[in-house]
A and B are shown apart, each in its own frame.
Chain A
Amino acid sequence: MEISLTVNGDTQSADVEPRTLLVHFLRDQLGLTGTNIGCDTSSCGACTILVDGQSAKSCNLLAVQADGAEITTIEGLAGADGLHPMQQAFHESHALQCGYCTPGMVMASISLVEEYPNLDADGVREGLEGNLCRCTGYQNIVKAVLSVKK
């Protein structure tokens, strides 16, 4: 099926099988491998992207469902003037250990502070419940998110 969508500001048209997961389309057809696949059970959040500005798990959507949507992946965040504020905050708080969960964490966090502007540390932890860090490096992730919302 023909789909047409905007990915990181560029219009993309492609012919996809209806069963193609959005994450496979992004990684395999568009080469945007910054979005990781972690769990295969919609639990880990490593594949989190923004669909029309809101976080979504790209392993839990079909590419055909994203027809007409505006998608942002981790590759679309940094601009000519440097890193996105959330990326910068993760950098400054050293909010990663192995880094595998980081793209999903950053995307989920951008959506989180937009949706819930007044979160405290507990709220950030709860809001990121859909994103797992196998290194258990949550402390600095929470610190980074809180520093952006200030």
Chain B
Amino acid sequence: MIPAPVGYIRVDSTEAALAALGEHGDEAKILAGGQSLIPLMRFRLAAPSMLVDIAGITELSGISVVGDTVSIGAMTTHSALEHSGELAEACPLLAHVASVVGDPAIRHRGTLGGSLAHADPASDLPAAVLALGGTLVASGSNGSREIAATEFFTGFLESALGADEMLTGIKVPVSTGGWSYQKFNRRAQDWAIVGAMVAEGGAGVALVNMGATPLRASAVESALAGGASSVEAAASAAEGTEPSSDNNGDAAYRKHLAQVLTGRALRDAGME
């Protein structure tokens, strides 16, 4: 299908992007790689009146590691994350998760910031940033602010970003402790039916597609902190989740999967 008629502005600075957002209000949408937004527009599930293309803002791409923090520009592609030697060393979980998003063609165009701002609970990268205890950097008409990943995802495809704000960067701690991502799906290139993510030896555990937002499995994290084994901790993985039922599986099946996959992820991350 063809998207509804839309306006288009290309900007080469964050200031110009914010000015365009200010002018067009919530009728405008930031266009990053477009790999989630363009399908939505084609299905007419999204029909913004103005696209603000930020691909030309070169300073929004790149990965840098300073001290204990990895800073990643919002326009950094999945492919760049996947192939970054620096990221593989500083935060192997994030580099790995980027390598299993969609397929290579999608990874060449899709961006970390775009995936986070899209806030799809079935996407891989939002749960990774959540498990890692990351921070999102947003710029708006009142300056820039940092939002903890735990505060960022507010509902299905909804985030804490205001209509006048855009995501400019992502920070995650250097994290080389035991990690794993167990993504369960039936069709190649598909979204996870359920996914379980373990960061930093179990300090962060997050679930994909187990509710309206990506979730921290806090019951699992506290069980592990209290000395539980991987089997004991994984038993509480579905606690507090409200997964959807669809043609890939009903809610009870997803809850079962969350437990199984969390157990596998914990063991894969090196826990007893």
Contacts and interface: CB of A to CB of B under 8 A. Distances in A.
Contact of B8 (A18, A21, A42, A56): A18
Of the candidates B38, B42, B79, the one having the most CB atoms from chain A within 10 angstroms of its own CB is B38
B66 interface: no
Nearest to A42: B39
B38 A60 contact: yes
Contact of A18 (B6, B79, B104, B108): B6
Interface stretch (A71-79, A81-89, A91-99, A126-134): A126-134
B34 A130 contact: no
A130 B107 CA distance: 11
Contacts of B1: 40
Contacts of B23: none
B67 interface: no
Nearest to B77: A54
Contacts of A112: 104
A23 to B, nearest CB: 11
Given A61-B38, A129-B103, A129-B189, A56 B3 contact: no
Which of A24, A40, A59, A60: most chain B Cβ within 10 A?
A60
A33 interface: no
Interface string A41-71: 1110100100100111101111011010000
Interface string B89-128: 0000000000000111110110000000000000000000
Contact of B35 (A18, A60, A131): A60
A40 B6 contact: no
Nearest to B110: A60
B51 interface: yes
A55 B105 CA distance: 5
Given A24-B2, A60-B39, A48 B105 contact: yes
Main secondary structure of the interface of B (DSSP, over half): mixed
B39 A41 contact: yes
A19 B106 contact: no
A93 B102 CA distance: 28
Main SS at interface, chain A: mixed
Nearest to B39: A42
A115 B10 CA distance: 29
B34 A21 contact: no
A124 B189 CA distance: 14
Contact of B7 (A18, A45, A61): A18
B105 A61 contact: no
A21 B6 CA distance: 12
A64 B53 contact: yes
A120 interface: no
A21 B5 CA distance: 12
B43 to A, nearest CB: 8
Contact of B4 (A19, A40, A131): A19
Interface of B: 1-8, 10, 31, 34-35, 38-39, 41-42, 51, 53, 55, 79, 83, 102-106, 108-109, 188-189
